[in-house]
Every structure is written in structure tokens, then in C-alpha cells.
């Protein structure tokens, strides 16, 4: 049996989800669909009436019911001994930790709030308990995810809970500090640049909280941000980034942007390019705007022709590539701690604090010495290209 966890965020994701379901049906035939696209069950069933079940997001119980219905499990003491930390799909040395679900924002291009609802934060003691179980299982890196990490706890009015004798408020700062004290790397994703994010920057200098922030900014032109229904301004953001770097000079910032949003003029796009230059972000992803059924942005006038979207995408990526190459060149000669990920023909692939798995660059270690996957080791950086670093083990 195959369970397909789908995304319905943008049209391209819907297509990819449908293709994956099709592939699973061809290769296996017994398929359950879950995740965001599952909330549009009519659409999914109209393409694939032979599916065993279609459920929406966060429907673990329904998925399990469907599995037990279609694939009753014979009792097997070896299979039934599921470890306490559960079974994860990530490698043994890192894990994602989901702290909340849903979002209180209403960005005009996004349908996540209608698919997943408003923000619902997990109580902090529950999150910490899961994190401790992961650490006890040998995890070296915890990657915190949600739709809006810095809003954590707003819905619970920052309720105080108790974890292992400590009183902790269900809020972003307490969570970042408590996770940072677990003795492993902790990486924060999907952080909205609220003023209170400033408080966690000092923690990045002397706890396990990595000096890394993933902040999806989406654009820098005021009129486009307004049309996207996103607060903040380019100047505020630049000032905040400058202050963060004063407090934590080794900070690495990752962000994502959308080009070709309806109404985006050449001037708006130039403003975005200028922002990239001024902000000198370390890791940047870019999407061309794609309409998704149900998003308010579909009603906006002045859609940008596809050819211009792709031309802007290329210019954006070229600009960022140069910024990234310049920044990585400055790393040559430095010594860094890296987490070993996988062997290569000439050594190993590893990641430093600046590299989130699968989305950022990597560090290629040239060595004949055996290194263990999931091991932390020191390397000297000997070279750099646009996105990756090259290194040898430190003596
Ligand atoms: S903050 Fe993110 S998840 Fe929330 S509405 Fe905006 S894009 Fe969607």
C-alpha cells in the first residue's frame, strides 16, 4: 500500500501531487491520499476513482483507519515494537519538529489558512518532550517547522506549562531557549520578521540555536507587499537585518521570493533586485507567481505574462548567484564544524550551520579518512563556488 502525502499550495504542487498519485497507482495500485490536496477530495476522486481513501491534512487517525481496513496487520512482535521516537522518513541524524499548524495571516496568494485553518500551537511541554525523545534517540539536528514559527503560542495566550520541573511559557523565545539547551543543533524555519524575533538573536551566539534564520520575505516593493497583504516594509526589513548582524555577526539568512506577482512593474522588480544587493541574503529561493484556485490574488488586475515572469526569474537568480558566490568566497580559509551527510567518490558531503538539508548548499570534504554519517567534525574551507563549499578535515 502507498500513502501519498500531497500538497495543494500552488498549481504546480497540485500537478505534482496528481502525477505522484498516478505513479503510485501504476506501480502499486493500493493507494491512500492524504494532505492538503486531500481536502479537495472531489477533484482527487474525479481523477482517480480507484483510490482506497482520500483524507485532508492532519488526518492521522483517518489514514490509520483506512490502512487497518484495507491492510489488516497480522500480529508480529518484531514489527509491533515501534520505537518510542516513532518511525521517521529523515536520516537518523536530523529530524523535523512541527510546533504548530495553520496560520493567522491572509497572504493573498496563499490558500494555507483555508486548507489548514488558523494557527494552533502545540503546548510547549509536548514539543519539548518530543524534542528530548529525538535527542535521546541520537539526533544531531532539530529543524523547527510550522507555517509561522515566530507566532508560536499566540493562540494559547503564551500559556505557562511545566516540562521536567521548568516553567516554560508557550512562546517563541522560551521554545528557542529551551531547545537551544538540549545539546544539539536547532535550526529555525519559517520565521516571520516580527520585532520579538530580535530577542532570540543573542541565544545564537552561545547555545545550540544555530545562527540561521529562514524568513520567507516574498517581495521588497511596498506596493507588491501590500497587494500580497504582507506587513512590513523594505526599509524596516533592511534595518532589522543590520541589527541582527550586529548582534550575531555569523548569522545566515535564507529567504524565498515570488516574481511576476500580478501588478509587478519593472520598477517593482528593480526594487526587489536592489533589496537583494543591500540585504546580501545568504540563501535565496525564487518562484514565479502561479495562481492557485481559491487565492484572493487571482482577482488582482494586471497579470504578468509568463515570458516576463521567467525572464525576471533568470535575472533574479543571476543576481543572487553572484551575491552567494561572493559571500561563500569569504569563507575560504575559515574553519567550520560540519555534520557529515553521505559519502562521495572523493570523500563526503556535509553541512555546516549555514546549510539546511535539501534546500541549501553543502560542504564537499575531500578526504581518504573514514567519517561516520551523522558525525560532527571540523574542516578547513579550501574553495567555494556559487552555492557550495569545498573543504579538507582540520588536522
Ligand atoms: S504567512 Fe505563509 S502560510 Fe500564512 S498566509 Fe502567508 S504565505 Fe500562507
Taking the CA of residue 230 as reference, the ligand 1 atom at the shortest distance is: 6
Q: How many CB atoms lie within 10 A of CB 175?
A: 27
User: Same structural domain for residues 325 and 352?
Assistant: no
Residue of 292, 271, 278, 290 whose CA lies nearest to 226: 271
Q: Would you say residue 383 lies in a domain?
A: yes
Query: How many angstroms separate the CA atoms of 93 and 85, rounded?
Result: 13
Q: Is 107 in the pocket of ligand 1 (CB under 6 A)?
A: yes
Instruction: Judge if 321 and 355 occupy the same domain.
Output: no
- pLDDT of res. 87: 72
User: In 99-229, which residue ranges form alpha helices assigned H by DSSP?
Assistant: 112-116, 124-136, 172-180, 203-206, 222-227
Task: Kindly state whether residues 251 and 277 are assigned to the same domain.
Answer: yes
- Does 210 reside within a domain? yes
- Give the three-state DSSP class for 382: strand
> Which residue range forms the structural domain that includes residue 234?
94-329
Q: Which of 107, 228, 229, 230 to mutate to test the pocket of ligand 1 (most atoms within 8 A of CB)?
A: 107
Name 276's Cβ contacts closer than 8 Å, sequence gap at least 6.
220, 284, 316, 319, 320, 323
Tell me the β-bridge partners of 390: 364, 383
For residues 118 and 378, give the distance between their C-alpha atoms in angstroms, rounded to a whole number: 43
User: How far, in whole angstroms, is CA 264 from its chain's centroid?
Assistant: 26
* Residue 264 near residue 303, CB atoms below 8 Å: no
Q: Which atom of ligand 1 is nearest to the CA of 111?
A: 8
Cα(45) to centroid(ligand 1), Å: 27
147 Cβ closer than 6 Å to some ligand 1 atom: yes
Rounded Cα distance, 205 and 218, in Å: 28
Measured from the CA of 113, which atom of ligand 1 is nearest?
5
Asked whether the beta carbons of 306 and 262 are under 8 A apart, the reply is: no
Helices assigned H by DSSP within the chain: 11-27, 41-47, 60-70, 77-80, 112-116, 124-136, 172-180, 203-206, 222-227, 234-247, 266-279, 306-329
Which ligand 1 atom is nearest residue 110's CA? 8
Distances (CA, A) of 162 to 70, 167, 328: 41, 5, 42
User: Are 320 and 339 in the same domain?
Assistant: no
Domain ends where: 47, 80, 113? 80
Q: Is the pLDDT of residue 85 over 80?
A: no
Dist. CA 8–CA 42, nearest whole Å? 14
Q: Mind listing the pLDDT tens digit for each residue in 252-292?
A: 999 999 999 999 999 999 999 999 999 999 999 999 999 88
**Is the CB–ligand 1 distance for residue 111 below 6 Å?**
no
- 169: number of CA atoms within 13 Å, CB side? 10
Which mutation among 7, 9, 117, 148 tests ligand 1's pocket best, with the greatest number of atoms within 8 A of CB?
148
Average pLDDT, the chain: 93
Residues 242, 297, single domain; the answer is yes
220 domain residue, yes or no:
yes
Say yes or no: CB of residue 329 within 6 Å of ligand 1. no
Distance 104 CA to ligand 1 centre (A): 8
Q: Answer yes or no: do 143 and 14 share one domain.
A: no
Give the residue from 329, 348, 368 where a domain finishes. Answer: 329
State how far the Cα of 112 lies from the Cα of 103, in Å rounded to an integer.
Answer: 7
CA distance 392 to 366: 5
pLDDT in tens, 120-177: 999 999 999 999 999 999 999 999 999 999 999 999 999 999 998 889 999 999 999 9
| Ligand 1 midpoint to CA 311 (Å) | 26
Q: Is the pLDDT of residue 193 over 80?
A: yes
Task: Assess contact for 341 and 365: CB atoms under 8 A.
Answer: no
Indicate which atom in ligand 1 lies nearest the CA of residue 148.
1
pLDDT tens-place string over residues 220-248: 999 999 999 998 889 999 999 999 999 99
Pick the closest to residue 355 from 153, 227, 212 (CA basis).
Answer: 212
**In this structure, is residue 200 part of a structural domain?**
yes
Please tell me whether residues 352 and 322 are part of one structural domain.
Answer: no
Same domain, 169 and 220: yes
Instruction: Tell me the CA–centroid distance for residue 291 and ligand 1, in Å.
Output: 15
23 and 153 assigned to the same domain: no
Domain for residue 183, yes or no?
yes
Q: Is 115 in the pocket of ligand 1 (CB under 6 A)?
A: no
What per-residue confidence (pLDDT) applies to 61?
Answer: 83
CB 390 within 8 A of CB 383: yes
- Residue pLDDT, tens place only, 319-344: 999 999 999 999 999 999 999 999 99
Same domain, residue pair 35 and 121: no
User: Positive or negative, the Cα torsion across 299, 300, 305, 311?
Assistant: negative
Which residue from 7, 9, 10, 113 has its CB within 8 A of the most atoms of ligand 1, so it is best to mutate? 113
* Shared-domain flag, residues 229 and 376: no
**CATH code for position 170:** 3.80.30.20
CA of 337 from ligand 1 middle (Å) equals: 33
Choose among 174, 198, 186: nearest CA to 132: 186
**pLDDT band, very low/low/confident/very high, at 76 (cuts 50, 70, 90):** low
What CATH code is carried by the domain that includes residue 384? 2.40.50.140
Question: Does some domain include residue 89?
Answer: no
State if residue 148 touches ligand 1 by the CB under 6 angstroms criterion: yes
Q: Give the Å distance between the CA of 230 and the centre of ligand 1.
A: 9
Which atom belonging to ligand 1 lies closest to the Cα atom of 190? 2
Q: Look at residue 88 and tell me if it is in a domain.
A: no
Q: Are residues 73 and 176 in the same domain?
A: no
- How many other β-carbons are positioned within 10 Å of the β-carbon of residue 204? 24
Number of domains in the chain: 3
Number of continuous H segments (helices) and E segments (strands) in the chain: 12, 18
Which residue among 80, 115, 138 closes a domain?
80
Confidence of residue 88 (pLDDT cuts 50, 70, 90): confident
Nearest CA to ligand 1 atom 8: 110
Q: How far is the CA of 324 from the centre of ligand 1 (A)?
A: 26
86 pLDDT above the threshold of 80: no
Q: Tell me which of 11-15, 130-134, 182-186, 353-357 is least confident.
A: 11-15
Q: What is the mean pLDDT of residues 173-195?
A: 96
Q: Is residue 87 part of a domain?
A: no
Amino acid at each position: 500500500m502507498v500513502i501519498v502525502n500531497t500538497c495543494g499550495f500552488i498549481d504546480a504542487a497540485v500537478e505534482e501531487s496528481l502525477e505522484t498519485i498516478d505513479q503510485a497507482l501504476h506501480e502499486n495500485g493500493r493507494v491512500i491520499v492524504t494532505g492538503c490536496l486531500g481536502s479537495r477530495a472531489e477533484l482527487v476522486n474525479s481523477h482517480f476513482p480507484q483510490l482506497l481513501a482520500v483524507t485532508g491534512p492532519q488526518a492521522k487517525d483517518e489514514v490509520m483507519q483506512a490502512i487497518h481496513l484495507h491492510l489488516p496487520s497480522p500480529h508480529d512482535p518484531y514489527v509491533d515494537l515501534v520505537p518510542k521516537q516513532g518511525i521517521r522518513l529523515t536520516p537518523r541524524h536530523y529530524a523535523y519538529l512541527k510546533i504548530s499548524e495553520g496560520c493567522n495571516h491572509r497572504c493573498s496568494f496563499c490558500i494555507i489558512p483555508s486548507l489548514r485553518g488558523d494557527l494552533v500551537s502545540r503546548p510547549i511541554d509536548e514539543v519539548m518532550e518530543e524534542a528530548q525523545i529525538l535527542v535521546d534517540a541520537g539526533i544531531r539536528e532539530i529543524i523547527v517547522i510550522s507555517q509561522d514559527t515566530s507566532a508560536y503560542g499566540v493562540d494559547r495566550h503564551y500559556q505557562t506549562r511545566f516540562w521536567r520541573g521548568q516553567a516554560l511559557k508557550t512562546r517563541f523565545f522560551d521554545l528557542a531557549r529551551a531547545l537551544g539547551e538540549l545539546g544539539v543543533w536547532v535550526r529555525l524555519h519559517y520565521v516571520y520578521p516580527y520585532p520579538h524575533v530580535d530577542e532570540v538573536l543573542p541565544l545564537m551566539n552561545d547555545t545550540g540555536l544555530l545562527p540561521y534564520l529562514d524568513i520567507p520575505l516574498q517581495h521588497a516593493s511596498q506596493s507588491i507587499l501590500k497587494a500580497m497583504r504582507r506587513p512590513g516594509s523594505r526599509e524596516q526589513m533592511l534595518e532589522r537585518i543590520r541589527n541582527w548582524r550586529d548582534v550575531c555577526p555569523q548569522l545566515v539568512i535564507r529567504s524565498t521570493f515570488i516574481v511576476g506577482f500580478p501588478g509587478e512593474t519593472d520598477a517593482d522588480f528593480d526594487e526587489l533586485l536592489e533589496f537583494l544587493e543591500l540585504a546580501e541574503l545568504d540563501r535565496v529561493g525564487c518562484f514565479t507567481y502561479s495562481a492557485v484556485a481559491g487565492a484572493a490574488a487571482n482577482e488582482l488586475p494586471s497579470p504578468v505574462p509568463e515570458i516576463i515572469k521567467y525572464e525576471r526569474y533568470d535575472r533574479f537568480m543571476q543576481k543572487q548567484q553572484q551575491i552567494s558566490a561572493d559571500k561563500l568566497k569569504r569563507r575560504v580559509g575559515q574553519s567550520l564544524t560540519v555534520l557529515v551527510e553521505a559519502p562521495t567518490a572523493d570523500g563526503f558531503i556535509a553541512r555546516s550551520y549555514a546549510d539546511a538539508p535539501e534546500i541549501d548548499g553543502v560542504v564537499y570534504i575531500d578526504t581518504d579518512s573514514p567519517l561516520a554519517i551523522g558525525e560532527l567534525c571540523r574542516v578547513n574551507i579550501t574553495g567555494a563556488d556559487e552555492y557550495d563549499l569545498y573543504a579538507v578535515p582540520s588536522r
